[in-house]
């Protein structure tokens, strides 16, 4: 299967590269290096085609302490960088794009302030704005994955599609950073119901998980975000981007 994108994740907290388990910094926040820019350059050297960045400080307190680092990441690699975390107004979106970010990821704002979300989507378009659906026990969660949005993932996905979103990042929070295997049924159900482009996130623990996820490509799941498994060398060969591109994964 060709053109299945493997997207390395760089979670940033306090200026450092971390892996936040289940999306909760207080639960378990393992450091994987002091320099997110070097991390980004490493993944680029490994042939990654896009990098996923989450700014946990901006998400938690609207702090911009990592913005210079994110700008440096964008300057240091020649591939697109997508960023999520704390984007809650049109002005926020404009500032993040000014860092050199290729596209932004919107989560809680879609539920909290539909007008601001609509303003952002109208200005930048669906190629530049991606929606995040985070779930716990088949319920959408928001606000740093701490609050129940009182809607199912599939129903929420249909709302996003009606609003003009074309791509969704789907994460089962309980699997995120746990190396417990991906919840592919969740991702598959959203892809089949909506026909949207889907990026799977969470739970990839080894090469077999990656192969199983890639089998959903015909359903519209064309990419996967991987964090902890990459940092902890859970693959027999870290040149997995080249494997995906060669058509070996099928």
Catalytic residue numbers, as ranges:
11, 134
Distance of alpha carbon 240 from its chain centroid, rounded?
A: 18
Query: Is residue 81 within 8 Å of 101, Cβ to Cβ?
Result: yes
**What is the token pair recorded at 116?**
């601001």
First to last CA, the chain: 5
Question: Considering only CA atoms, which of 198, 138, 142, 146 is closest in space to residue 170?
Answer: 198
Question: Taking the CA of residue 2 as centre, how many other CA atoms within 13 Å lie in the half-sphere pointing to its CB?
Answer: 1
| Helix (H) / strand (E) containing 83 | strand 81-84
Q: How big is the chain by its Cα radius of gyration, in Å?
A: 16
195: Cβ contacts below 8 Å, ≥ 6 apart: 161, 220
CA distance 244 to 7: 11
Residue 157 backbone phi and psi in degrees, to 5: -60, -40
| Helix (H) / strand (E) containing 29 | strand 29-33
Check the CA dihedral 9-128-194-119 and report its sign.
positive
Check the CA dihedral 10-126-167-148 and report its sign.
positive
């Amino acid at each position: 299967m060709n053109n299945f994108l493997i997207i390395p994740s760089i979670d940033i907290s306090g200026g450092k590269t971390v892996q936040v388990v289940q999306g909760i910094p207080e639960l378990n926040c393992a450091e994987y290096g002091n320099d997110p820019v070097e991390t980004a350059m490493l993944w680029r050297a490994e042939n990654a085609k896009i990098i996923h960045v989450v700014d946990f400080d901006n998400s938690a307190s609207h702090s911009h302490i990592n913005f210079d680092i994110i700008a440096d990441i964008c300057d240091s690699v020649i591939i697109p960088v997508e960023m999520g975390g704390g984007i809650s107004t049109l002005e926020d979106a404009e500032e993040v794009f000014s860092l050199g970010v290729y596209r932004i990821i919107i989560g809680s704002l879609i539920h909290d302030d539909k007008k601001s979300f609509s303003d952002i989507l109208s200005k930048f378009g669906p190629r530049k704005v991606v929606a995040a659906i985070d779930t716990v026990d088949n319920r959408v969660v928001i606000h740093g994955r701490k609050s129940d949005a009182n809607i199912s993932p599939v129903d929420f996905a249909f709302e996003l599609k009606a609003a003009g979103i074309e791509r969704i990042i789907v994460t089962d929070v309980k699997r995120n950073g746990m190396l417990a295997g991906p919840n592919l049924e969740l991702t598959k159900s959203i892809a089949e119901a909506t026909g949207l482009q889907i990026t799977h996130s969470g739970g990839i623990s080894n090469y077999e998980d990656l192969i199983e996820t890639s089998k959903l490509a015909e359903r519209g799941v064309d990419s996967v975000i991987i964090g902890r498994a990459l940092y902890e060398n859970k693959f027999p060969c870290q040149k997995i981007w080249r494997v995906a591109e060669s058509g070996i994964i099928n």
